[in-house]
């Protein structure tokens, strides 16, 4: 009897003790005169700190602060000097000469020279490291005539300057490793030339970076950045409310609404470089097990007309996005082709029915589903990723819209890995239609345009679209330096692909982020987000709000 | 105490079970549709070439039998493999996560067993009273509530509203510690909420097992004798009753520890606790075979060892059960 009371007393005592210690404020360098620590909350952590092998956005986010590139993106997503003070193209446009900053040192004290740049570029080209090697495809050689000059020579002019994409690695650390060794290299203490040094990575918890006092640029006000991992987005939002973190990299739409009217918190919705789309299996291979009726452009165009993208944004995305059309997202500014609303294949079920009727698709057995002239019903399989709730919702709306024009869609959801493997089965793809999305790899239309090339079948091409003319235009725009001339080619490509109806770009979703207004100030709200973007300048420009 | 032949037999059974588990685990994950490289390629914007090479690096292009052979061989050498997602030795990843899971589960198990047994004893001693029925109902109620929901409730009640405890992680991010004690008290304050969540949800089993076992024992003749001898109520219940009623509780504890080694994934998700549960969940989604194989091997070993331990302990505690 007394035992019970004793147990309760002991447990209660422990709880009391724990709560007392919890109440103690812990010294975190956040308060005081001027703030020095920036805390960023995210719901996923980097996979590795090896810039060559990382594939996570989190890894990229941390590494872009540790490593410099030859050129960086500024807050208007234009090129600004990085490790290269200036750069110029030769008169024939085939060579790019970079004049490097002087007096730059690596985080371990070793001096930085052009040899490091030559080493990095040679390594990537030789070892053909996927993400970066694609920008060096036309490179013939890289030379370092002296310690502060690097010359990249190409066989064709390059519209996209690779200096914007490639992080420069220290030769004295990376030398001597073959491809396998690099792939397995954990790079646990990354050494770069960037504004922040690596502090520590407490796996499953935090990544800490410390300001680099010897950085070649202006010293940022932030002295330490701590990236905090949350297993749960509700708790993450709570942490922002409580002031445990200063900014969140991504806020799901359901939580975003709750943050819009919280004191001292600003929730921001910005255009992103991403879209979600519906893709059709247009593989012409005889082994393809996709429905051959999708090879008829009329069917695809009819489905384009059947759906109302504005409605998708309202219902599936809760309004946080723009209705989709072409491959290039509006965040890329003038690069996006503006197709007038009345010329878009959108929200016009009557036009869809007319198209199908005119091509000979009739409902011969009155079951509500059209049949082809050969008697094949217009019935297709539709797959979506079950954990991406916006896609599942959009798939349901699409299915309903297709039914109105006489096309039956059978929806099945699956996990991302299974969907990826189903779609990218290049031998005998066994699917018809999917719902998925893309994020651009660089702040340039080249990336999105390059997804649907013939050469990308077995690579990024998720619909097996293959048009030689399109490929030829792609090669041309990649080597056209004059912006106006390049733009007209890029426009032509967008129109061509749009007309084929192979993608239904449903929406360009907004990047939803939130930050505290009472801790750090000076956040530039730019397309792509304040953080988690191609530019790192926000980290360098913010100042303490205290 | 135990015959050599008995131990040898048990050992052989253990080895055979382990082997079966290893093989089954190996096949289980590779049968799942999907492969780890495809998603890495899309997210990391890799080329087809690069993907083929990645596949080769991890031996995924070889026939299944060959992969199995390599897996057995490295396991024999104590090599748990190389994670495809994190590009680190799996052993390192597991070591970090296991410590975190162990801390959480250690605290939770101690709380659950002591509190559960305590409440169960009280309920049995006062069988039929309001205290008894309310304890049982409360325990059942908590047992039926979803762990995730329970966790979120505690987050908002104790973490946000009362601001009494931190709601995520194992330490305060960016904290600067003045001493080891300071660090341990930080961890202690972070353990509270997840431990309470686990305790509330899992305590039901121990309450009910203890209660029914003790009720059974209290009806035995020797209890009557003890009472007749004039022993105090406390002595009767604790010295004679509980000691004999604990056997099922020991089995339940051993099983509980072994099952929860898997990491209380829901609690880890709610409280952002960097443990095994979350690791396994992410690994399944990403088809990270090396991590999955190693984790499930560890879980299997834990369950097998726990069973063995409870078997042996039972024999030590209850002479009637010893092998003749």
pLDDT digit string, tens, across residues A437-462: 998 888 899 989 999 999 888 788 99
pTM, full prediction? 0.86
Of A7, A208, A232, the CB nearest to B174: A208
The contacts of residue A30 (CB under 8 Å, 6+ apart) are: A36, A37, A39, A519, B174
Q: Any residues with CB less than 8 A from the CB of A147 and at least 6 apart, and which? A: A100, A113, A114, A115
| Arithmetic mean of pLDDT over chain A | 90
- Interchain CB contact of B187 with A (< 8 Å): no
For the cut 60, the answer to whether the pLDDT of residue A427 exceeds it is: yes
Query: Which residues of A fall within a CB distance of 8 Å from B118?
Result: 3-4, 7
pLDDT reported for residue A7: 55
Q: Which of A185, A204, A226 comes nearest B274 by C-beta?
A: A204
Is the alpha carbon torsion for A397, A402, A408, A413 positive or negative? negative
Q: What pLDDT, in 10s, does the model give residues A135-162?
A: 898 999 999 999 999 999 999 998 889 9
Query: What is the structure's pLDDT at A116?
Result: 95
pLDDT band at B5, cuts 50/70/90? confident
Whole-number pLDDT of residue A27: 45
CA nearest A200 in B: which residue?
B174
In the predicted structure, residue B43 carries a pLDDT above the cut 80:
no
The predicted pLDDT at position B62 comes to: 86
Best to test chain B binding among A55, A160, A177, A449 (most B CBs inside 10 Å): A55
B42 contacts on A by Cβ (under 8 Å): 420, 460
| Contact at CB, B174 and A37, closer than 8 angstroms | yes
Provide the pLDDT confidence category of residue A472 given band limits of 50, 70 and 90: very high
Task: Find, in chain B, the residue whose alpha carbon is nearest to that of A42.
Answer: B272
Contacts of A203 in chain B (CB under 8 A): 93, 96, 274
- Give the C-alpha separation, A13 to B68, whole Å: 53
Residue contacts between A and B (CB atoms, under 8 Å): 209
Are B43 and A56 inside 8 Å of each other by CB? yes
pLDDT of residue A343: 92
Which three-class secondary structure state does DSSP give residue A377?
Answer: strand
Of all residues in chain A, the percent with pLDDT exceeding 90 is 71
CB contacts of A56 in chain B (<8 Å) are: 43-44
DSSP state at residue A266: E
How far, in Å, CA of B249 to CA of B268, rounded? 26
Give the bridge partners for A99, in sequence order: A86, A149
Q: What is the ipTM of this complex?
A: 0.82
pLDDT at A546 over 80: no
Asked if the C-beta of B115 comes within 8 angstroms of chain A's C-beta atoms, the answer is yes
**Which chain B residues are Cβ-neighbours of A231 within 8 angstroms?**
168, 268-273, 278
pLDDT at position B29: 82
3-state helix, strand, coil in chain B (%, to 5): 75, 0, 25
The CA distance from A248 to A234, in Å, is: 12
The pLDDT of residue A308:
95
In this prediction, residue A326 carries a pLDDT of: 95
Pair type for strands A224-229 and A37-42: parallel
- Cα four-point dihedral sign A288, A289, A291, A292: positive
B130 touches chain A (CB under 8 A): no
d(CA A512, CA A256) in angstroms, rounded, equals 7
Q: Higher model confidence: residue A84 or residue B14?
A: A84
Nearest to residue A227, comparing CAs of A217, A236, A219?
Answer: A236
Contact residues on chain A for B96, CB-CB shorter than 8 A: 203-204
Q: Do B272 and A30 touch (CB under 8 A)?
A: no
Q: What is the mean pLDDT of residues A207-223?
A: 94
Cβ <8 Å between B39 and A420: yes
CA dihedral A56, A58, A63, A65 (to 10 degrees): 150
C-alpha–C-alpha distance, residues A355 and B190, integer Å: 63
- Count Cα atoms within 13 angstroms, Cβ side, for A314: 4
Does residue B178 or residue A100 have the better pLDDT?
A: A100
Does B138 lie at the interface with A, CB-CB under 8 angstroms? no
**Residue B3: CB partners within 8 Å, gap ≥ 6?**
B323
Tell me whether residues B122 and A4 touch, CB distance under 8 A. yes
Tell me the C-alpha distance between A121 and A137, whole Å. 12
- Beta pairing, strands A71-73 & A79-81: antiparallel
Q: Chain B residues with CB inside 8 Å of A177's CB? A: none
The pLDDT, as a whole number, for residue A29 is 45
Of A126-130, A173-177, A468-472, B278-282, the least confident: A126-130
Average pLDDT, chain B: 85
Tell me whether residues A21 and B189 touch, CB distance under 8 A: yes
Confidence of residue B173 (pLDDT cuts 50, 70, 90): confident
Q: What is the pLDDT of residues A318-329, one digit of tens each?
A: 899 999 999 999
- Cross-chain residue pair A4–B121, CB shorter than 8 Å: yes
Residues of chain A above pLDDT 70, percent: 94
What are A266-277's pLDDT values in tens digits? 999 999 999 999
Which residues from chain A sit within 8 angstroms of residue B160, using beta carbons?
Answer: 238, 241-242
């Amino acid at each position: 009897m007394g035992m019970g009371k004793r147990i309760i007393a002991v447990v209660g005592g422990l709880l009391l003790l724990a709560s007392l210690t919890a109440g103690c404020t812990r010294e975190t360098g956040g308060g005081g005169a001027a703030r020095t620590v920036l805390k960023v909350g995210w719901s996923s952590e980097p996979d590795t700190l090896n810039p060559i092998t990382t594939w996570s956005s989190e890894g990229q986010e941390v590494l872009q602060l540790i490593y410099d590139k030859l050129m960086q993106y500024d807050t208007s997503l234009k090129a600004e000097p990085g490790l290269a003070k200036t750069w110029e193209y030769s008169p024939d446009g085939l060579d790019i000469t970079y004049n490097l900053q002087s007096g730059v040192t690596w985080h371990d004290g070793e001096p930085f020279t052009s040899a490091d740049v030559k080493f990095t570029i040679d390594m990537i080209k030789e070892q053909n490291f996927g993400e970066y090697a694609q920008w060096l495809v036309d490179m013939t050689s890289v030379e370092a005539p002296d310690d502060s000059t690097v010359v990249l020579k190409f066989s064709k002019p390059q519209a996209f300057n690779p200096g914007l994409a490639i992080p420069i690695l220290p030769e004295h650390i990376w030398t001597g490793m073959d491809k396998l060794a690099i792939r397995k290299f954990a790079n646990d203490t990354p050494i770069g030339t960037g504004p922040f040094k690596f502090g520590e990575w407490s796996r499953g918890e935090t990544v800490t970076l410390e300001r680099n006092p010897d950085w070649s640029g202006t010293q940022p006000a932030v002295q330490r950045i701590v990236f905090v991992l949350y297993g749960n987005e509700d708790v993450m939002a709570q942490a922002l409310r409580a002031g445990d973190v200063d900014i969140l990299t991504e806020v799901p739409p359901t939580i975003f609404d709750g943050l819009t009217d919280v004191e001292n918190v600003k929730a921001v919705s910005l255009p992103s470089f991403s879209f979600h789309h519906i893709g059709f299996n247009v593989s012409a291979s005889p082994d393809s097990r996709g429905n051959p009726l999708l090879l008829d452009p009329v069917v695809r165009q009819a489905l384009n007309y059947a759906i109302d993208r504005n409605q998708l944004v309202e219902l599936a995305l809760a309004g946080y996005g723009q209705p989709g059309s072409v491959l290039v997202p509006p965040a890329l500014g003038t690069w996006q082709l503006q197709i007038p609303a009345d010329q878009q294949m959108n929200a016009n079920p009557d036009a869809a029915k007319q198209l199908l009727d005119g091509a000979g698709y009739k409902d011969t057995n009155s079951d509500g589903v059209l049949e082809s002239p050969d008697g094949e019903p217009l019935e297709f399989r539709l797959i979506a990723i079950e954990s991406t709730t916006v896609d599942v919702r959009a798939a349901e709306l699409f299915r309903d819209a297709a039914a109105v024009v006489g096309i039956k869609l059978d929806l099945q959801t699956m996990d991302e890995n299974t969907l990826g493997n189903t779609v990218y089965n290049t031998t005998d793809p066994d699917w018809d239609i999917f719902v998925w999305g893309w994020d651009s790899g660089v702040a340039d239309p080249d990336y999105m345009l390059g997804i649907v090339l013939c050469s990308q079948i077995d690579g990024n091409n998720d619909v097996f679209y293959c048009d030689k003319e399109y490929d030829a235009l792609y090669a041309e725009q990649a080597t056209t330096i004059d912006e106006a001339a390049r733009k007209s080619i890029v426009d032509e490509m967008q129109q061509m692909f749009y007309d084929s109806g192979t993608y239904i770009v449903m929406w360009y979703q907004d990047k939803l982020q939130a930050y505290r207004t009472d801790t750090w100030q000076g956040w530039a709200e730019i397309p792509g987000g304040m953080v988690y973007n191609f530019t790192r300048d926000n980290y360098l420009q913010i100042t303490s709000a205290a | 105490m135990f015959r050599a032949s008995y131990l040898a037999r048990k050992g052989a059974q253990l080895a055979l079970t382990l082997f079966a588990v290893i093989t089954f685990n190996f096949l289980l994950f590779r049968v799942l549709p999907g492969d780890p490289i495809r998603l890495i390629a899309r997210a990391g914007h890799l080329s087809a070439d690069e993907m083929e090479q990645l596949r080769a690096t991890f031996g995924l292009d070889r026939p299944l039998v060959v992969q199995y052979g390599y897996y057995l061989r490295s396991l024999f050498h104590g090599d748990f493999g190389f994670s495809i997602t994190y590009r680190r030795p799996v052993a390192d990843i597991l070591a970090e996560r296991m410590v975190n899971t162990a801390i959480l589960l250690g605290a939770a198990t101690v709380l659950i067993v002591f509190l559960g047994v305590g409440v169960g004893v009280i309920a049995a001693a006062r069988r039929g009273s309001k205290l008894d029925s309310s304890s049982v109902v409360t325990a059942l109620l908590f047992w039926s509530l979803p762990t995730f929901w329970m966790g979120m409730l505690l987050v908002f009640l104790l973490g946000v509203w009362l601001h009494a405890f931190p709601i995520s992680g194992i330490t305060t991010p960016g904290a600067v510690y003045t001493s080891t004690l300071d660090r341990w008290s930080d961890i202690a304050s972070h353990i509270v909420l997840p431990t309470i969540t686990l305790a509330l949800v899992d305590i039901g089993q121990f309450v009910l097992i203890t209660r029914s076992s003790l009720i059974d024992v209290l009806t035995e003749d020797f209890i009557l004798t003890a009472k007749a001898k004039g022993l105090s109520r406390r002595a009767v219940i604790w010295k004679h009753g509980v000691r004999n009623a604990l056997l099922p509780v020991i089995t339940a504890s051993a099983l509980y520890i072994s099952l929860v080694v898997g990491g209380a994934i829901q609690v880890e998700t709610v409280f952002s606790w960097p443990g095994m549960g979350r690791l396994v969940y992410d690994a399944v989604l990403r088809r990270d075979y090396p991590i999955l194989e190693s984790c499930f091997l560890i879980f299997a070993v834990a369950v097998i060892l726990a069973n063995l331990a409870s078997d042996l302990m039972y024999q030590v505690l209850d002479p009637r059960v010893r092998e003749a």
